[in-house]
Every structure is written in C-alpha cells, then in structure tokens.
A and B are shown apart, each in its own frame.
Chain A
Amino acid sequence: MEAIKRTTPASEAEREAIDGLLGPGEDHLGRDAIAGHVVRGRRHLLLPCLHALNDRIGWISPPAIDYLASRLGASPAEIHAVASFYGLFSLSPREPVQRHVCIDLACRAAGGPTEHSVDDGAHPAPCLGLCDRAPAAITIGGHDPEPDPGLAAVDRANDDVLLRRVGSGDPVDLDAYRADGGFSALDRARELGPEGIIAAVEASGLTGRGGAGFPTARKWEAVRTQPVTPHHLICNADESEPGTFKDRTLIENDPYALIESMAIAALAIGCELGRVYLRGEYLRAHRTLSTAIERCRSAGLLGSSAGFDIEIIRGAGAYICGEETAIFNSIEGYRGEPRNKPPFPFESGLFGQPTAVNNVETLMNVPSIISEGRRADRRLFCLSGAVRRPGVIEAPIGITLGSLIERAGGLPRGHARWSCRRLRRSGRP
C-alpha cells in the first residue's frame, strides 16, 4: 500500500497511549515479511488502543490514526473506518472528560432532556442502562467511578437465586464470596468434567437469556466437540436494549459469580481464555469486574496456574455489537458489523475458531445448576419508569406483568391505577 507522509506526526502523548499497549515503536517492523505477520497479528489491539487515545486525549486525531496504522500494518483508511464506527469516540477535538446524558425512554419519563435540550458540551446518549436511577448521565475519562451505595436497586426476595448476593455487602470481597459457598460449584464442575457439566446444564433446561433462547447445553456441546482449537468463550455483556440493566446489576454486585460461571463454562467447552465484551458505558461494572479478576488472579483462581483467565474487552458505544458475530469483528479490530451465518459461531467464531457466546444472565444461572441441580426456571426483569421502586426483579418464568409491577411498588400516585388492576385480573403470563 502507498505510504502517505503527512506533515504533523502524532503527539508524544498519543504515541505513549498507543505504545503503552503495543510496546515501543520500531520503524523496521512491518517492512519485512515475517515482522509484517507479527505486526498485523496485533490487529485485535486496535479497539484497546482507540480507548487508550480517547481516555487520555479525548479524541482520535488524524496523526494518531496514521501512527496506529503504521504500528498495526493497516492502512489509515481502515483504522479511520473502525474509529468512526463507535459512538464513544470522536474524530474531532474535544476535552478528555466527556459527559453523556441519557435521552432514552425511562430518563425522558423522569424529566431527562431530549436530543436537542442536553446541556452545552454534553453528548446525548442512547439508554445508558441506568434506568433505575433515571434521569441518568455518565462521565467518561479523567477518573474512575466511585462505588455507589445506591447501586443495588433491586427488589429482593428470600428465594432469589440469581440476585442472592446483590446488595449484601462488598461485591469485591473475595473472602466473603468464598465463605458464602463461592467457587464450590467450580469444584463440583471439576469432578463432573465437561460432559457432566453439559449434562447438568441440559437437565436444567437453561436457555439463552440474551433474547434468542437457544439451549445452552447444545451450544456448549457443539463447541466442545469441535476438533479445531483453541475454543473461545465470550460473555456478552454489551447490554444495550433500552430499559435493560440486569446484566450491569449482576456484574456490579456479584462479579465473582460471573467469574465462577465463566470458569465452569470454559471447563465445559475446553477454553483457556474467556472474554467479557462489556458495554463501553458500563464504567463501574468495568471497575468492579477488573478488581474481582485481579483478586482472583492473586488468589490463584485465575491465571496460568488455574488454567483459565478472563480478559475484559470494552465496547465503545455501538448497539449492534451486542449481536454475537458483530462482537467477533469488534474484538478482532474491525468494524462491528455482523457476519454471515453460516458458518455459525460454534464452528467459526472469534478468529475463525469455535466460540460460545453467552449472555451474563445465562452464565449466572450455571453455579446453582451445578452445585444444587436447580432447574433454570427463573428470570430477571427490569422495571423502570412509572413504578415506585424501579429495579431488577427475579421471578419465576411466567409471572404476570401485574405482579411484577406490584413487586416494584405499584404505580406512583397520580398514575392510571386501573391499568395495573386490569393486568392483574387478566392473570395471564
């Protein structure tokens, strides 16, 4: 490809942000055949590099794109194409700290702004998954989000399984998690072995909670039996559906359960590195999960000694990246556009290798299935808008809308109560 020399080189800060992930720049790399393969083999670091630039500089400049292109053995047009794909990145100058204000349903209903009435300098954002605390806004860049005591906006019940630990103490306290029976399901899973795990999951009737409802055991079995290695596990945490915030609630409040669930899934399908594709706007979940992963590594529960590790991939504001094949492209450093199926992910997914993609809630069902032989007959529901206690509710599959609204405290004074009564009377799921 033709190398175009532009007059302005990348700034020192931009080069540092990129070199921090790719190592010090070496000009000869990419100039001979072998090194070219090495350079191009790092394309999956493109998205993290773009994040590094955005976090540090606030935007992605043409010289930074040119520099990235030279470091990754790609053309500037390709890098520009990827950088311009994501909503959280800017290709024009702006401050490193950005405020994103939700203009979606629940926040609008709670008095939030419209696309045209957001404050100057703030970005109008699609649903931020903070509907339980509407109207919502987030700040990206410049700081790490602090833990928030108001996090666990859930309606707890005594027989909760998925939400059992939500709101009960410090979510990243590993000792507390272990004292509560944490990682015993993983021990049991090791005894069962891959086929035993899959049999237990099959008996539980667990189906995908991301929306498609595909039987989880069948997906795992299909990946497990693929001759091509390595096998990949991706936890789809790109929760972006307006009004949905259950996956965020789970990760922020019970990160170790997700880690344990992924470790069991990895055991079942034969995978050594699991990836969590986490929505870019979920900064607090990112911090919580990173801390939990770090602590597990220190305790030898993750990492080379454990035979399994987890990596978080930050999304960057693209609803479509919740689609499983779009996730592959996004992780690989390409535009997050869906791929053709077939081939299906179980045979040709991430990097063209066998891959299981599971939603957060799906995975969180796994520990109780393995340790207690539970049936997967419960689901999470997100209630927001005109209810007294917005939040996540765990309930048996088949609960009526009326009962859900009742558990969320019913409608606030002044709202049409008849609709609630009607829903209850109809009594149908």
Chain B
Amino acid sequence: MTAIDDTRPEIATVEAMIDGVTVRVAEGTTILDACGGRGCGIPTLCYGETITPRNACRVCMVEVEGSRTLVPSCSRPVTEGMVVTTRSERIDHSRRMVLEFLGSSVDLSLTDHVEEWNAEYGADPTRYGPEAARVDEPVRIDNDLYVRDYSKCILCYQCVDACGEQWQNSFVIDIAGRGFDARVSTEHDVALPDSGCVYCGNCIQVCPTGALMFTSEYDMRQAGTWDEARQTQVDTVCGYCGVGCNLRLHVQDDSIVKVTSPPDSGITSGNLCVKGRFGFQHAQNRPTAD
C-alpha cells in the first residue's frame, strides 16, 4: 500500500511587533490584516474586503520603525522584525488631517464610522470655513438603475477596480482629470447608457461613501422614507441561472429596496450581474385587486 504523503508545504511566516505585542503571521499579510482587518480600530476608507486597496485615502497610516514616512497599513506587508505602532501623536495628527481634508471637500454623511473617527481624532472638517474648496455638483441621474453623486466621492478607486481588472473587466470608468478636478468618469464623460456599462452594479457594492446608489434607495432617501432601522436582510440564491450567486435582499415594508451580495460569499465575492443585482421587481409584483 502506498502511503499518502499528506504533509502540506509549510506556510512561511514572519514575526513582528505591533504595539508592543509579538505577532506571527503568514508572509504577505498586511499590517492591517495582522491587526485584525477592518474594524480592528485602525480607520479605513478606501479599503474594501474584495478589492486590493490602492491606499488612496491615507487614513490607515501607521508608524513603522526605521521608516521616514508613515506607511499605509492596508497595503504594506508585514516583514520579519518589523516594529509597528498603530497609535501615536504623529499618527493621530495625520488621521485628523486626512479626515478634515476629506470631510471639508466631500460629503461623508453616508460613510460608516466617520463621525466616531472625527470625535476620536478631534477632526473638525468645518475648520477651513465655508470658503473651503468643495466638490459640489448635481447628482447624475442618467439611467433607471443607479445614480452617481460625485460630491460624495473620495476617489478611492474601488469602483474603477471593480469595473476593471479586479472583477468585471468592463473598464467603463476610470479617474479622469487631475487634482481637485479629478472625477470618476466614463470615456469623454458620456452618460452611462452611452458608455459600455453593463449595469452589474459591482461598483455600487464596493463604494464606501454612498456616491453610487441604487435609484430605489436614492428615491426613498429623497422622499424621506429610507429607514434602515425598519429594514431586514434576507440571504437567498439567485434563481436566474445555474451559477447560484448569493443575494442579500434588503427589505423594507415587505418590499425589496436594494440587493447586495455577501462579500465573503465563495461564489460571488460580492459581485453579481445585472439580473441578480437589479432584476428583483418581478418578485414583488402583487396581483392587483380587481
């Protein structure tokens, strides 16, 4: 009988010191993940569970011994012997500044945790006064399925990467322009129906600030009827084809108001197609009483 060799290749690990505590993690693990990932106390904005971060927001910066500059914890892998500090006067100052710059120039009112971080780091986005430069432009409503409100956009690149090589491979949007004029844009800034958009909505799924939003949610917010406290979430499987994508239905008052997909789903990693994302109306067509 042949013995089956079930010894697995040993995973290379590295040892580092984070806030005085020795940790041993697999090689390639980022500092943020070594600290416990999202929700570990290090603030994150441009970091999404399903997208390789571009460290565009600079709010997760930490100190690494021997490094002249602060380093983005979401992207820097832990290396052997690394000594990391995740909270210090210098770090707090940097985070405060980032929160104030972003908060003074775009609308972060729908971004999770921003209020608590502002309080924690003493950030006051209003301190640049009413004259502070602000991305102020009308909401773009050019199709029936979702709206784009770039006055909420922090240019984190997540939608660009979800549309491009990281998920959908449609490459319909990119960051155009430079500096304060930089915007997520289709080619020639054409309306979505004139672009190559396939309405998979995977950009909405990863948007951390509410700049991209289901039209159904947008309309309800405008009408003042959007109420997350009254919503339930139901996980189910999409019935359109045989792939078996996981859907998370957001239901308010017995109606589906939005569809997402669990980011940790092994089938979708949070991604859907236009049918799964937006084709939910048939489920709630009720017979008319006649």
Q: Which residues of A contact B (CB under 8 A)?
A: 1-4, 62, 65-66, 69, 74-81, 84-87, 91, 318, 335, 340
Contacts and interface: CB of A to CB of B under 8 A. Distances in A.
Contacts of B196: 1-4, 75, 77
A180 B188 CA distance: 54
Nearest to A3: B196
A2 B170 CA distance: 7
B175 interface: yes
Contact of B174 (A3, A62, A81): A81
Given A4-B194, A4-B195, A76 B178 contact: no
Contacts of B186: 77, 80
B184 to A, nearest CB: 9
Contacts, number: 68
9 contacts: A4-B187, A4-B195, A74-B171, A77-B186, A77-B187, A77-B195, A80-B186, A81-B176, A87-B178
B215 interface: no
Nearest to A4: B196
Contacts of B173: 77
A62 B172 CA distance: 15
Interface string B168-199: 01111111111000000111110000111010
B146 to A, nearest CB: 17
Nearest to A318: B178
Given A75-B187, A76-B188, A79-B187, A84 B171 contact: no
Contacts of B187: 4, 62, 65-66, 69, 75-77, 79-80
B270 interface: no
B178 A77 contact: no
B199 to A, nearest CB: 11
A81 B185 CA distance: 8
B55 interface: yes
Interface of B: 55, 72, 75, 169-178, 185-189, 194-196, 198
* Interface SS majority for chain B: loop
A7 to B, nearest CB: 11
Contacts of A62: 187-188
Contact of B177 (A2, A65, A85, A340): A85
Contacts of A77: 171-174, 176, 185-187, 195-196
A273 B112 CA distance: 50
A192 to B, nearest CB: 33
B174 A78 contact: yes
Given A81-B176, A84-B177, A1 B171 contact: yes
A39 B218 CA distance: 42
A65 B174 CA distance: 14
Given A1-B169, A1-B170, A69-B187, 10 more contacts: A4-B194, A4-B195, A4-B196, A75-B172, A75-B174, A76-B188, A80-B176, A80-B188, A86-B178, A340-B75
Given A2-B196, A4-B195, A84-B177, A78 B171 contact: yes
B59 to A, nearest CB: 16
A318 B170 CA distance: 28
Q: Which of A69, A81, A85 has the most CB of B within 10 A?
A: A81
A317 B175 CA distance: 18
A75 B185 CA distance: 12
B188 A65 contact: yes
B161 to A, nearest CB: 12
Contacts of A78: 171, 174
B172 A2 contact: yes
A91 B275 CA distance: 36
B178 A85 contact: yes
